[in-house]
Amino acid sequence: MTLRDKTADDSSRSWVRAVLYDATIRGWVFQGLVLIFLVLFSAWVIHNTAANLRAANIPFGFDFLNMRAGFDISQKPINYTLDSSHAQAFKVGLINTIILSALGIVFATIIGFVVGISRLSGNWLLARAATVYVETLRNVPLLLQLLFWYKAVLSVLPGPRQGYMLPFATNLSNRGLTMPRPIPGAGFDIVLWIVPVAVVLAWAVARWARRRQVATGQSFPVFRASLGLIIGLPLVVFLAIGAPLTFEYPELKGFNFVGGMVIHPELTAMLLGISLYTASFIAETVRAGILAVSTGQSEAAFSLGLRPSQTMRLIIVPQAMRVIIPPLTSQYLNLTKNSSLALAIGYPDLVAVFAGSTLNITGHAIEVIAITMAVYLALSLITAALMNWFNSRVALVER
């Protein structure tokens, strides 16, 4: 064996040894192999699907999005008619899904925190009532709860003429919650632009107050200041430019109301169902997070003269958040995905409008299902990213 052959043999052995024993190189090699496998597998699936579609004479493409939809949607947050395209119908369903998910997350969080803290209350009746709520709602399938709220509660309300009159010209009937519709006037967009400015200012005040407290030990009423900025600043601008907002009031004509705006029973039932159902799981997450905080924290706070409410708000909950947020993120993701059950009671979400009506009319099942899955994946990833950012902000230990 020549010197060159021996050198080449030693190099190959050192490379094999590096692959086998060097964790970094071994990791890159296996990741490369997995990537190659995924690319080849995806190419095979795409080629096989295209071949099967050609064999079955099924067209493939996204041109159907520009076709006339030809079906109506009961709840339209944006302009939509029978002559609108399927792309416009997709936007309506997407916005309805986002509205339902966002409102559901807000309500479920508030209810869940209240119930979770109530389960640890020293009041026997309050604690037992919270326990009954949690053990009942989380053990009944969500679909049955949605049908209960829609069929057994909202559908049996009286008609518009015999509906319940509420303050501010609002009427509750089996047609939904009818209320005045706000009509923005000239200059109202300035107020809308002031809102994010107020939010940024509130964030800046919170950062300043935190640095001030670390440096001097003096606290600052951040919550009240932030609330004043977010509500007060837009209100001042709104009044300063002449209050450019009018209302269209609903009028009872015949058997229904004309004008105004309506929150349909389907949306109400969905909000009640997914909010109360998800809140039962959030309540257990909150209770577990609070119990994870050492009792010595409470005893130390009481020894300093803090009231129980102050101890819970200033000492216990901030420490419990590091335990609460990760499972809370999972509940938010579940709520967003559970919104697809709206199809069962007729709420026009993305699944009902796009994966239901559009798919049945156009027959483009693969494209429609792929778009729908991509939307839910994107919504889940955005929610998870925001919660991970928030988790990093409230972490007790800086990374």
pLDDT digits (tens, 9 = 90+) for 125-167: 999 999 999 999 999 999 999 999 998 888 888 888 888 888 8
Q: Tell me, what's the pLDDT at 395?
A: 67
Q: Tell me, what's the pLDDT at 372?
A: 92
Tell which residue, 78, 96, 102, has the closest CA to residue 347. 96
Q: Which long-range contacts (CB under 8 A, 24 or more apart) does 45-49 make?
A: 49/366
Q: Tell me, what's the pLDDT at 95?
A: 93
Alpha helix stretches (DSSP H) within 252-364 = 265-291, 295-303, 308-310, 317-338, 350-352, 359-362
Q: Is the dihedral of CA 280, 286, 292, 294 positive or negative?
A: negative
Q: Tell me, what's the pLDDT at 22?
A: 66
Give, in order, the Cα–Cα distances in Å from 275 to each of 106, 283, 300, 350, 385: 8, 12, 36, 19, 22
Q: What is the pLDDT along the chain (399 residues), one digit of tens a residue?
A: 554 555 555 555 566 665 566 667 777 778 888 999 999 998 888 788 777 777 777 777 788 888 888 888 888 888 888 888 999 999 999 999 999 999 999 999 999 999 999 998 888 999 999 999 999 999 999 999 999 999 888 888 888 888 888 888 888 888 888 888 888 888 888 888 888 899 999 889 888 888 887 788 777 888 788 888 888 888 988 888 888 888 888 888 877 788 888 888 899 999 999 999 999 999 999 999 888 888 888 778 888 887 877 788 778 888 888 889 999 999 999 999 999 998 888 888 899 898 888 888 888 888 888 899 999 999 999 999 999 888 887 765 444
Q: Under CATH, which number does the domain 86-180+263-394 receive?
A: 1.10.3720.10
Contacts of 70 (CB under 8 A, 6+ apart): 82, 361
Q: Tell me, what's the pLDDT at 3?
A: 46
Q: Tell me, what's the pLDDT at 92?
A: 92
Q: Tell me, what's the pLDDT at 61?
A: 76
Q: Tell me, what's the pLDDT at 330?
A: 93
Written as one letter, the residue type at 92 is V
Residue spans of the domains in the chain: they are 3-55, 86-180+263-394, 185-248
